[in-house]
Amino acid sequence: MNLLDLTKSELERFCIEHGQPKFKALQLTKWVHNKGVHDFAKMTDIQGSFRDFLSQKLNIYIPKIIQSTKSADGSEKWLFKLKSGEVIESVIIPEGSRITACVSSQVGCAVDCSFCATGNQGFSRNLSLGEMLGQVWAINYLSNVGRVTNVVLMGMGEPLLNYSNLIEFLKYLLLDEAYGLSRRKVTVSTSGIVPFIDRLRVDCPVSLAISLHAANNELRNKLVPINKKYPLEQLMRACRNYQDRAPRKFITFEVVLLDEVNDSLKDALAMSRLIKDYGVNAKFNLIPYNAYSKGVFKKPASEKIKGFQTKLQELGYVTTVRKTRGDDVEGACGQLSGIVNNRISRVGVLEKSEIAGLF
Ligand code: SAH
Ligand code: SF4
């Protein structure tokens, strides 16, 4: 059994069932998540006989890093091979004293947004708690960039469709004895799974980013098909409700800018109106479309992107344009899985040396 797959209460139960006080679970958590120790023999404040028992019953399994590619801008993309043979990706983005880990929540994604490489790949399965924690653990303790200060769930997958594992993952990120991050520094990005936005507000209200992309249902239905189930009216109401528990003053609205599709000044105005109508405090994060091999869209010219940004700023919104960090290693938004795509089912039967040649 992988210790990383045990929730906080499961680990407590494990300790109690094996004759240990409940607080041992927290000591174990500290060794593993806070100090990066994976050898039970080194956990000196845990009784010798229990340490032996732990090493018989549990292991600390980190998905195998099969490739790490550094981009010219300093960000790094890591490919992890899971026990199942599937491959997921994480991106490390260092910026001054901040080290952001962009982590994956699923293998593939069922939402199937029309501009996204992960969606294009289809859905395979949810990541387990241990597979999500393993990404952060590996970046913290196996990379030489330093400790993760911020986590964004903007890798492969729709985090709110892996809800129960997501919540347990978030709890470890926030736990002082584990990663000790503040709620502000952990961001869940979602395509808009309304019932789970409502639940997140209650269960673990971290920073929220909404992938908006369009201000009307007709266009959003095409770009983000889940909009047919949870249309903009419902999504905006969920955002408004979220605000009273949100750790930041603003909800971030992400807009992937697609040439001639949603990048006009009229689109910018419509988005700002929609948000205002619902009384949501918003910040915009514009993401120029990142092309991938099967993508059909185009990235707008930089003057258009600038114009869109200026319009939103004039309308009173803090608006940033996301640098397309890591795009030379296909680690930018929506490109994740781009290169794994066709190979995902083959990797499982290949040897490590062959994999190295593939990527
Ligand atoms: N599933 C979640 C989080 C992962 S995607 C979501 O959709 O929010 C993270 C961000 O990358 C989202 O805002 C998504 O819209 C954006 N994205 C997806 N494909 C992209 C592409 N090809 N170019 C730029 N951004 C993209
Ligand atoms: Fe899934 Fe997000 Fe990609 Fe849409 S943009 S397909 S929700 S990962």
pLDDT tens per residue across span 10-68 = 999 999 999 999 999 999 999 999 999 999 999 999 999 999 999 999 999 999 999 99
Residues 32 and 118 in one domain: no
Q: Contact 275/282 with Cβ under 8 angstroms?
A: yes
Q: Contact 145/76 with Cβ under 8 angstroms?
A: yes
Would you state the pLDDT for residue 322?
87
Which pLDDT band, with edges at 50, 70 and 90, does 292 fall under? confident
Would you state the pLDDT for residue 331?
54
CATH of residue 43's domain is: 1.10.150.530
**Torsion sign across C-alpha atoms 199, 182, 90, 297:** positive
pLDDT above 50 for 348: no
Kindly give the number of the ligand 2 atom that is closest to the alpha carbon of 189.
2
Residues 144 and 16 in one domain: no
- The residue ranges of DSSP E strands in 182-250, in sequence order, are 186-190, 207-211
pLDDT above 80 for 342: no
Residues 20 and 165 in one domain: no
3-state secondary structure 9-30: HHHHHHHHHCCCCCHHHHHHHH
Would you state the pLDDT for residue 334?
52
Residues 145 and 37 in one domain: no
pLDDT digits (tens, 9 = 90+) for 101-152: 999 999 999 999 999 999 988 999 999 999 999 999 999 999 989 999 999 9
**Around Cβ 350, how many Cβ atoms within 10 Å?**
16
Distances in Å between the alpha carbon of 1 and those of 19, 36, 65, 174? 19, 18, 20, 24
Counting ligand 2 atoms within 8 A of each CB, the residue from 120, 127, 158 with the most, and so the one to mutate, is 158
Residues 215 and 250 in one domain: yes
Counting ligand 2 atoms within 8 A of each CB, the residue from 102, 103, 106, 111 with the most, and so the one to mutate, is 111
Q: Contact 300/288 with Cβ under 8 angstroms?
A: yes
Closest CA relative to residue 338, chosen from 298, 290, 293: 293
- CA–CA gap between residue 270 and residue 268 (Å, rounded): 6
pLDDT above 50 for 350: no
pLDDT above 70 for 95: yes
**227 exposure class (CB count in 10 Å sphere: 0-12, 13-18, 19+):** buried
Which of the pair, 165 or 73, is modelled with greater confidence?
165
Closest residue to atom 8 of ligand 1, CA basis = 190
Which of the pair, 323 or 199, is modelled with greater confidence?
199
Q: Is 214 in the pocket of ligand 1 (CB under 6 A)?
A: no
Closest ligand to Cα 190: 1
Residues 9 and 141 in one domain: no
Q: Is 115 in the pocket of ligand 1 (CB under 6 A)?
A: yes
Q: Is 116 in the pocket of ligand 1 (CB under 6 A)?
A: yes
pLDDT above 60 for 273: yes
CATH of residue 201's domain is: 3.20.20.70
Helices (H), 6-146: 8-17, 23-29, 48-57, 117-121, 129-142
Residues 25 and 127 in one domain: no
251-257/150-153 β-pairing: unpaired
Q: Contact 63/131 with Cβ under 8 angstroms?
A: yes
Closest ligand to Cα 323: 1
The domain tally of the chain equals 2
Q: Which of the listed residues 57, 75, 92 is the one where a domain comes to its end?
A: 57
Would you state the pLDDT for residue 337?
53
Domain that holds residue 25: 3-57
Residues 33 and 173 in one domain: no
- 0.85 exceeded by pTM: yes
Active-site annotation, residues: 89, 333
Q: Is 120 in the pocket of ligand 1 (CB under 6 A)?
A: no
CA of 25 to the centre of ligand 2 (A): 36
pLDDT above 50 for 354: no
Q: Contact 77/71 with Cβ under 8 angstroms?
A: yes
Residues 154 and 277 in one domain: yes
CA of 249 to the centre of ligand 1 (A): 23
CA of 291 to the centre of ligand 2 (A): 15
pLDDT digits (tens, 9 = 90+) for 185-214: 999 999 999 999 999 999 999 999 999 999
Residues 216 and 308 in one domain: yes
By percentage, how much of the chain surpasses pLDDT 70? 90
Residues 111 and 213 in one domain: yes
Which pLDDT band, with edges at 50, 70 and 90, does 330 fall under? low
Residues 118 and 9 in one domain: no
pLDDT digits (tens, 9 = 90+) for 139-173: 999 998 999 999 999 999 999 999 999 999 999 99
Closest ligand to Cα 293: 1
Closest CA relative to residue 87, chosen from 118, 60, 110, 112: 118
